[in-house]
Amino acid sequence: MMWLILVLVVVVPLLLLFAFNRYMSPNMDTFSKMNIDSPPASGFLGHFGQTFKRGLFLNQLEMYNRYKDKKVYGIYNLGKPILMVRDLDIVKDIMVKHFNSFVDRRVVFEFDPPFKENMLMLKGEHWKHVRSMVSPAFSSGRIKRMSRHVERISQRLVNVLRGKQERNEDIELKNTISHFTLDVIASTAVGLETNTLEDPDNIFANHALNCTVRLSSVYVLLAFMAPRLCNVLRKVGVTLISKKSLQFFADTVDAAMENRKEEGQAGKVNDFVDLLINAEREPGQTDKALTRSEIHGQALVFILGGYDTVATVLSFTLFLLANHPDCCQKLQKELDEKLGNESPNYDNVQSLTYMDMCINESMRMFPPGFLIDRVCTEDTVIQGIPIPKDMVVTTPAYAIHHDPDIWPEPNKFQPERFSPENKESRHPYAFMPFGNGPRNCIGMRLAMVELRVALAYVLKSLTPVTCEKTVYPVTLKKFQLTAEKGLWVKFNARK
């Protein structure tokens, strides 16, 4: 009996650990064979332990700075080799010149139906087909029509902020701005009036929050660093997003589409669903259209991607302006001179050059796409570096955005970095908040319109200022592009 207990307690776990080690680390000599530098790795954990200890951002900076004289370097995450690219010319070649060899993104986690076929996860020709069908939703004409929703909800945001200002309340920007962006997404995606700014407990907001909280969890770190482990967890029921919330969004999209068809309103609401109705494949139709499953997938990306990304950029921008009143005053002067008494809209915000400089500098410091992944689909040689098929290639955008050789004093907020003359002097791939090339963020133009309009509405009426709860400089959470101590400010009314 004692012998059996010894086997169960000691031998079996050791055998399982050995098998796990063999499974997770079959390629730990990949970079030595490729003659590419890689820091010492810790067994089957690779460099995952260092990331977990330091956090995504500090670890990315440390690795990037360690290999200043190298074009590329390698890391291992639980046995998976990942080629990190520092050289901006190689980044450009991967994203544009050799795009056909790097068309796919790394699938860090998979969704179950009804959202399995979303654009972030699709590969090759399937991705190209869906992208071509969805791209018309982001044409200048459609964005201009959707911007009316943004303008209306931006005025509602100003009313809410003015009420807090009159009550002398401190405001945590990410929380309040997230309510605004969720209202915009509900309206521009499926034509819903959610009014989360005044009713944050509505059902749409609760399901969106349920999704984004889990998307910001340690589970996402595991998804990036150990996707094979996440797939195992998914098979036993541990999922990234609750099936209940996924089904809610699927039902919401279906209901919006069917109601408009029945009421003859298809194409008249000026939102994302209008485009999807036009693009849906009818029975017996050829493949030059979208299936309902593909529609669900793109709706999920539009709702969740547009909601949190814009909230992050807008809240950081307002916070930085509160901590740099000279920049805020300069931006408000531009608004007064160029807009006067006119309300911000799609057309007039295009002329706000200093506003764009402030938004871009905010995204440089806190880029929404802080890691940009591609997967090599065929053996390729770029600038003398052989990249084998299936190799994951990553651009460390956060570290590039904080490289002092490109951006002197990178931790300082200096919008003038994005003046026309300064932009001309830099490599075009030194700034990549939304990625680059054919597989960049499809919604970035809509996001920029939303940012410009909302920021213009707020700053025409109110001025963000620091308060007792303000903590600056910002310390980011380990695994989220979120301020550890929040983004606390107050607002003063403009005279």
List all residues 6 or more positions away from 329 whose beta carbon is below 8 Å from its beta carbon.
none
CATH number, domain containing residue 226: 1.10.630.10
Question: For the segment 23-79, what is each residue's pLDDT rounded down to a tens digit?
Answer: 445 567 899 999 999 998 776 667 777 888 888 999 999 999 999 999 999 999 877
Each residue of 379-416: pLDDT tens digit? Answer: 999 999 999 999 999 999 999 999 999 999 999 999 99
At 231 the pLDDT is 62
Give the separation between CA 311 and CA 185, rounded to whole angstroms. Answer: 11
Residue 213's pLDDT is: 58
Q: pTM of the predicted model, to two decimals?
A: 0.90
Determine the Cα–Cα distance for residues 161 and 493; give it in Å rounded to an integer: 10
Q: What is the average per-residue pLDDT within 137-157? A: 93
Cβ pair 85, 395 in contact under 8 A: yes
Q: How far apart are CA 327 and CA 237, in angstroms?
A: 49
The residue segments making up the domain with residue 323 are: 2-493
Q: How confident is the model at residue 232 (pLDDT cuts 50, 70, 90)?
A: low
Give the pLDDT mean for 2-9.
Answer: 48
Give the residue from 311, 302, 55, 327 showing the smallest Cα distance to 173.
311
Compute the residue count for the chain: 495
Mean pLDDT of 226-251: 70
Mean pLDDT of 328-357: 97
The number of folded domains in the chain is 1
pLDDT at 247 over 60: yes
Whether the per-residue pLDDT at 92 is higher than 90: the answer is yes
Distances (CA, A) of 28 to 63, 81, 86: 18, 7, 21
Burial class (CB in 10 A: 0-12, 13-18, 19+), 189: buried
Q: Which pLDDT value is given to residue 52?
A: 80
Cα dihedral 349, 353, 354, 360 sign: positive
pLDDT band for 228, please (50, 70, 90 cuts): low
- Which residues participate in the annotated binding site for heme? 441
* pLDDT (average), residues 209-228: 60
Whether omega before 396 lies within 30 degrees of 0, making that bond cis, reads no
Which residue ranges make up the annotated binding site? Answer: 441
